[in-house]
Structure 1
Amino acid sequence: MAFLKNDPYAVDERTARPPSSTKTSPPVSVLPSAFNLFAVMTVVGGSILLAWLAWRYYFDTPWTRDGSVRVYTAQVASEVSGMVTAVSVTDNQAVQKGEVLFRIDDRDYRIAVQRAQAALERAHAQLTNMRAEADRRNQLSDLAVSAEVRQSYESNAQAAQGAYDATVADLANAKLNLERTEVRSPVTGYVTNLLLQTGTYANIGQSVMTLIDSESFWVTGYFEETQLRRIQVSDPTDIWLMGYPDRPIEGRVESLGRGIMDPNSAPGVAGLPSVNPVFTWVRLAQRIPVRIQFKQLPNDVHLAAGMTATIHVRGRSGAARR
């Protein structure tokens, strides 16, 4: 075995190891892969379904974010002219109907009442005298007084009666003007944007104060014309004010608008209609105003005209129309 010692390819039996046995890998299962594929398809299908439902809800459900709170206002003007001597309210103050808002200098109007009273007494005296003379002439015989004289005295008595009636009306008018020097609130509401100050001269019919009628709040929602067929009068609505997003307010549809301005009908140069160009493949739905009345005014919500609102119109059964 000496020749093996110099053989480079000889294997030393003392250090040689038996070849390791070949390990067989376990079979790969196809169940997890199928389950993962099913889960992915389920998620994708659910996402598509939710997207389709959201799309249908957006286009079919009558709702809008383009809503605003509206209210009636009362422009307060004096019915008599004069210097404002006192302003009894402050800006944003709540007032009741009939409450005094401001006063006008009443000295001239008190004098006018006194003059009218004096004129009435004078007219009453003349009427009494003329009526007595006419009655005396009527009691005399035709030999003592002629029919012409009797008719003349009766005419004078009737004229005195007319003068007396006129002075009665003048006195009533003078007293009414005196009462009008105290300007009272025509509605229950709030004073807004108060600029009137003591010393201002108030003219007849000139607005000097604005009141918010607190009993007239409503919401106007501008719905796309494609949604109007799903909106009917008296339908219940949910109103979300931007400042109170977590508190829906109940309301109902009171009426639907019957017209909006058509910009194409405005005359242009030479009186011709000014027609705006449009893309034939893009048609934007017009927005029609829908008036919505509050079911009950919330006491703890600060309502102000111009507030932004989101409106959702529900069907009579409480579910949105599809």
Structure 2
Amino acid sequence: MKLATLIRFAITAAVIVVAAFVGHALWKHYMYSPWTRDGRVRAEIVRIAPDVAGIVTDVKVIDNQTVKKGDLLFVVDKARYVNALNQAQANLHAAEAAARASGASINAAAASAQQSRSNFEMYEAQSERRQKLINNVISAEDKANALAAANAAKAGWQAAQASTKQASAAQEQALAAVAQAAVEVASAQLNLDRTEVRAPVDGYITNLDVRVGDYASAGTARLALIDSHSYWIYGYFEETKLPGLRIGDPVDIRLMAGGLRLKGSVESIARGITDADNPTGSDLLADVNPTFNWVRLAQRVPVRVHIDADHLPKGAVLAAGMTATLVVHPSPADQVAAR
């Protein structure tokens, strides 16, 4: 009888010990092991908006279509932008003609200045010779007239030089007008090119909101393009599990969609989250909540996980917003440090 009681006691004690070990292991697993069911698939989303305004004349894509970088998405009415380009080109031709005319004016002014200089040198030499004559070879009036003629020729030369400088300034202004007109042509050409809205990356059309006949405003997004090469996962890990995480640790990813399994690695760990209990007041001072909750829940910190795109299963479908379970496999050194 005593032996049976002893056996029952031993079995009960063994069950309790095993249950304690299992409970402790489960407690450590759920509280400290680096895993979470709160994972979200994310992707870079490009908001496609036209750079010019106008009526949409053609839409080349449909919702959820796959596109390549450079593919035409939709077209804004080109008519007014063609007209603007033609006007800019006409202005450029006019500015170039004005620049050529100013160049001819410079040549004429330079020739006139050279002629005035020659006249001045001639009259100056003539005046100097007459001023040196003695014994009343010529009258004083003739000497005065020669000097006056030399001074008048000098004034004419100076006026011609001023005209040359004025013509040079006019030419610089004309050349600046040519450069400005060229910029306007380039801008008009760019606007015309931008009437064709093209995909900036490879990806998937989402939330297509443009139809033929719509008026597209510049800068207003009309569809979203999900970059097909930018998928990653944000895992929201409890703060108690962060000590077991290191950048580069391998991660097993299991999507809720059909249990699809992927491979990845820890890419980065967020360094801050919003503190809902300590907002900033209107006077920029901390607005501290005077109450204290005895039950304190572990905060969740975003951890960015890189998806190994080179080993995606064939036919795998990734969509931003999907839910995933993440299990991180830390290195032995990290596990020792976490303890």
Q: In 1, Cα distance between the equivalents of 2:210 and 2:47?
A: 13
* C-alpha displacement of 1:46: 3.0
Structure 1 counterpart of 2:117, from 143, 159, 164: 143
Contact kept? 2:239, 2:298, Cα under 8 Å: yes
Distance 1:268 1:154, change over 3 A: closer
For residues 98-177 of structure 1, what are the structure 2 equivalents within 5 Å? Answer: 98-139=70-111, 140-141=113-114, 142-143=116-117, 145=157, 146-177=160-191
CA distance in 1, matches of 2:253, 2:273: 23
Query: Shift of the alpha carbon at 1:269?
Result: 9.6
Point out the more displaced range, 296-305 or 203-212. Answer: 296-305
Residues 34 and 244, structure 2, Cα contact 8 Å, conserved in 1? yes
Amino acid at match of 1:158: E
- Say whether residues 1:181 and 2:195 are aligned partners: yes
**Contact 1:130 1:153 (C-alpha < 8 Å) held by counterparts:** yes
- Provide the rounded CA distance (Å) in 2 between the counterparts of 1:111 and 1:130: 29
Q: Distance in 2 between matches of 1:227 and 1:267?
A: 29
Pair 1:46 & 2:18 matched: yes
Contact between 2:278 and 2:286, CA under 8 Å: does it hold in 1?
Answer: no
Q: Which residue of 2 aligns with 1:24?
A: none
Which residue of 2 is the match for residue 86 of structure 1?
58
Shift of 1:292: 0.9
Q: Distance in 1 between matches of 2:292 and 2:262?
A: 39
Superposed displacement of residue 261, structure 1: 0.8
Quote the residue 1:17 is aligned against. Answer: none
Distance (whole Å) between structure 1 residues aligned to residue 168 and residue 334 of structure 2: 82
Compare CA radii of gyration and give the structure with the larger one. Answer: 1
Q: Pick from 319, 324, 328: which aligns with 1:304?
A: 319
Could you tell me which amino acid in structure 2 is paired with residue 310 of structure 1? T
For structure 1, which segment, 97-106 or 224-233, has the greater mean C-alpha deviation from structure 2 after superposition? 224-233
**CA root-mean-square deviation:** 2.6
Q: Larger helix proportion, structure 1 or 2?
A: 2
Aligned partners of 1:274 and 1:244: how far apart in 2? 45
Distance 1:267 1:313 in 2: 36
**Counterpart pick for 1:209 among 223, 237, 243:** 223
Of the three residues 267, 291, 298, the one matched with 1:254 is: 267
Deviates more, 1:84-93 or 1:140-149: 140-149
Which residue does the alignment assign to 2:149? none
1:199 aligns with 2:213: yes
CA distance in 1, matches of 2:35, 2:89: 65
How far apart, CA to CA, are the structure 1 residues paired with 2:52 and 2:325? Answer: 45
C-alpha deviation, 1:43, in angstroms? 4.5
Question: What is the match of residue 296 of structure 2?
Answer: 283
| Partners of 1:168 and 1:232 in 2: CA distance | 56
Q: CA deviation at 1:91?
A: 0.4
Aligned sequence identity (%): 37
Query: Residue 59 in 1 paired to residue 31 in 2?
Result: yes
- Give the Å deviation of 1:137: 2.6
Q: d(CA) in 1 for partners of 2:193 and 2:214?
A: 19
CA drift of 1:180 comes to 0.7
Give the superposition deviation at 1:276. Answer: 6.5
Q: Secondary structure at the match of 1:253?
A: strand
Paired letter, 1:93: Q
Q: Do the aligned partners of residues 253 and 165 (structure 1) sit closer, same or farther apart at CA in structure 2, a change above 3 Å counting?
A: same
Structure 1 contact 268–274 (Cα < 8 Å) conserved: no
Aligned positions of 1:71-82 closer than 5 A:
71-82=43-54
Q: Alpha-carbon deviations, 1:70-111, whole Å to 9, x = none? A: 111111111111000111110011111111110011011111
- Structure 1 residues 110-141: Cα deviation after superposition (integer angstroms, max 9, x where no partner): 11111111111111111112112213433541
Aligned length: 292
* Partner Cα separation in structure 2 for residue 134 and residue 302 of structure 1: 72
Instruction: Say whether the 8 Å CA contact 1:240–1:311 is kept in structure 2.
Output: yes
Residue 55 of structure 1 and its aligned partner are, at CA, apart by 1.6
Partner of 2:204: 190
Q: Which amino acid aligns with 1:303?
A: L
Q: Gaps (5+ residues) in structure 2?
A: 119-156
Letter in 2 for 1:185: A
Structure 2 letter corresponding to 1:296: A
Structure 1 position 47, deviation (Å): 3.4
In structure 2, relative to structure 1, the CA distance for the partners of 1:318 and 1:204 (3 Å cut) is same
- TM-score, reference length from structure 1: 0.82
Mapped partners of 1:222, 1:176: distance in 2:
45
C-alpha spacing 1:87/1:307, structure 2 compared with 1 (3 Å): same
State the AA in 1 paired with 2:89.
Q
